[in-house]
């Protein structure tokens, strides 16, 4: 349960300003923390910080534990002497308003490789000892991850189920041979993870000292092409060739008439139970080292999940299956007494989902953009909010509030105008104020709404495979009035107080 009244901003680090194609953990991230503090905010909510997957999605990472190496601040590497001035010249094609992953990924990886070589050839024993200590502390996931990434490069990106049988099946002699052959590549990936962890830890520590808490994001499922599935094949519904028998998705809903076919392998929950949910407890432990609270995406999947045959053309052809429910959360509670978890309980929510969330006093989510399709009995209208709630104008999957308003049919606009007492002028501020004035202890505003940006600046279109996760802001868009309005709203609605750590 989150008991303090406070507010914050949803902004993924990729959306930060910066010279190298996407935002990172450099100076602009620290400047953003300063802006949050000056604006009376308490939370910085991010999307998953792991490696991006197909479509540049942070929800399809190659590891549930590794961080995205694209976030590593190149200037900090240069301070150690691992990069020189020529390495820090941006490509002229980089766009300050949109992330171009096709450009920035090879640019950054090339410089990380240069930095890695210089680090390992340097005589700095203190830093070498720090690196060795990191590798020792994180060996439970790091060794498999680095080996996975090295073999994937050797196999030219083919899915691990298509690797030679002895590597696919993780036969010990084959893994030992690969580790020797790929020793330099393995060291590179470990160096990158050390850089990510070191820089994010410094940034998070700075944010906490400024009174800013981090809300992280944990996807319920993991990608098939990941070190996790490859190294823990017994925990997933796979056949003897490493291919999924069934995959994850959701039935037809608000976002799609055919549902969403995510394609992630599903868990063998009976096997997890036999291990006392060891893998999940470790996963949550690592997530809480990166953030102060974690939002678990698709929380309803713990009560029941949509199982789709692996060869199905879309998510219509699925069925509901029972999840681990309270058994998993009892295990969580035993390891994390305060359970600093936010439950993403959107979509087709049934009584068992509500019962599970309430049993462990987890805050659920309310989205204001979902509130005006019916009448005043709608669950998402602010007068229905309870204290243990995290309320949003919209999430990364929604349109911006300005874009949403401009696309509304007239009858819904009339409802909005009547309920919010607004003619639609500066609709984003009207919506933000309605949330801020509500009973919800926690309210989160997408940065796009603070800036009053249109539909072209939304973060993600669910079901659309390309063109997502690209939006970026620049400091020229932020005016003094933005900070003043945010601060005044926080003070007026009693959301500006001393920070409470979970």
Residues with catalytic function: 297, 344, 397
215 within 8 A of 290, measured Cβ to Cβ: no
The Cα angle at residue 57 between residues 405 and 343, in degrees rounded to 5: 70
The rounded distance, in Å, linking the Cα atoms of 182 and 167 is: 13
Task: Identify the three-state secondary structure at position 441.
Answer: coil
Give the Cβ contact number of residue 401 at 10 Å.
27
Tokens representing 490 are 């926080």
Q: Which residues, other chains included, contact 263 with Cβ-Cβ below 8 Å and sequence gap of 6+?
A: 224, 244, 247, 248, 249
Helix residue ranges per DSSP H, 360-474: 401-407, 410-420, 427-436, 447-450
279 within 8 A of 235, measured Cβ to Cβ: yes
407 within 8 A of 388, measured Cβ to Cβ: no
Helix then strand then coil, in percent of the chain rounded to 5, is 45, 15, 40
Tokens representing 388 are 């243990």
């Amino acid at each position: 349960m989150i008991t303090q009244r406070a507010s914050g901003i949803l902004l993924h680090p990729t959306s930060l300003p910066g010279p190298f194609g996407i935002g990172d953990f450099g100076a602009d991230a620290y400047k953003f923390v300063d802006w949050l503090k000056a604006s009376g905010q308490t939370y910085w909510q991010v999307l998953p910080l792991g490696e991006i997957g197909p479509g540049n999605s942070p929800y399809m990472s190659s590891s549930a534990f590794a961080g995205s190496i694209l976030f590593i601040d190149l200037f900090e590497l240069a301070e150690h002497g691992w990069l020189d001035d020529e390495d820090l010249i941006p490509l002229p094609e980089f766009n300050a308003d949109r992330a171009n992953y096709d450009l920035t990924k090879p640019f950054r990886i090339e410089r990380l490789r240069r930095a890695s070589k210089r680090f390992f050839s340097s005589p700095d024993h203190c830093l070498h000892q720090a690196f060795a200590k990191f590798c020792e502390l994180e060996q439970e996931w790091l060794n498999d991850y680095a080996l996975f990434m090295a073999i994937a490069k050797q196999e030219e990106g083919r899915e691990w189920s298509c690797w030679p049988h002895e590597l696919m099946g993780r036969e010990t002699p084959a893994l030992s041979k690969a580790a020797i052959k790929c020793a330099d590549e393995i060291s590179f990936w470990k160096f990158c993870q050390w850089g990510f962890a070191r820089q994010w830890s410094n940034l998070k520590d700075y944010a906490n000292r400024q009174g800013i808490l981090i809300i992280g994001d944990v996807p319920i499922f993991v990608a098939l092409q990941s070190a996790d599935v490859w190294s823990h094949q017994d925990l997933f519904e796979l056949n003897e060739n490493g291919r999924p028998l069934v995959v994850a998705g959701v039935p037809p809903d608000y976002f799609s008439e055919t549902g969403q076919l995510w394609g992630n392998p599903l868990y063998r929950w009976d096997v997890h139970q036999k291990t006392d949910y060891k893998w999940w407890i470790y996963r949550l432990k690592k997530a809480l080292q990166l953030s102060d609270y974690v939002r678990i995406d698709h929380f309803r999947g713990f009560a029941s999940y949509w199982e789709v045959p692996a060869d199905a053309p879309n998510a219509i052809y699925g069925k509901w299956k029972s999840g681990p429910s309270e058994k998993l959360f009892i295990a969580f509670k035993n390891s994390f007494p305060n359970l600093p978890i936010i439950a993403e309980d959107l979509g087709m929510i049934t009584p068992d989902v509500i019962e599970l969330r309430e049993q462990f006093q987890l805050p659920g989510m309310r989205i204001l953009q979902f509130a005006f399709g019916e009448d005043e009995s709608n669950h998402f209208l602010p007068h229905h909010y309870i204290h243990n709630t995290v309320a949003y104008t919209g999430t990364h999957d929604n349109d911006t509030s300005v874009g949403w308003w401009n696309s509304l049919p007239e009858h819904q606009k009339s409802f909005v105008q009547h309920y919010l007492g607004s003619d639609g002028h500066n609709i984003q501020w009207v919506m933000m104020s309605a949330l801020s004035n509500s009973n919800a202890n926690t309210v989160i505003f997408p940065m796009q709404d603070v800036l009053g940006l249109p539909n072209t600046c939304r973060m993600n279109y669910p079901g659309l495979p390309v063109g997502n996760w690209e939006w970026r802001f620049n400091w020229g868009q932020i005016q003094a009035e933005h900070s003043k309005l945010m601060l005044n709203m926080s003070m007026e609605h009693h959301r500006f107080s001393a920070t409470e750590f979970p």
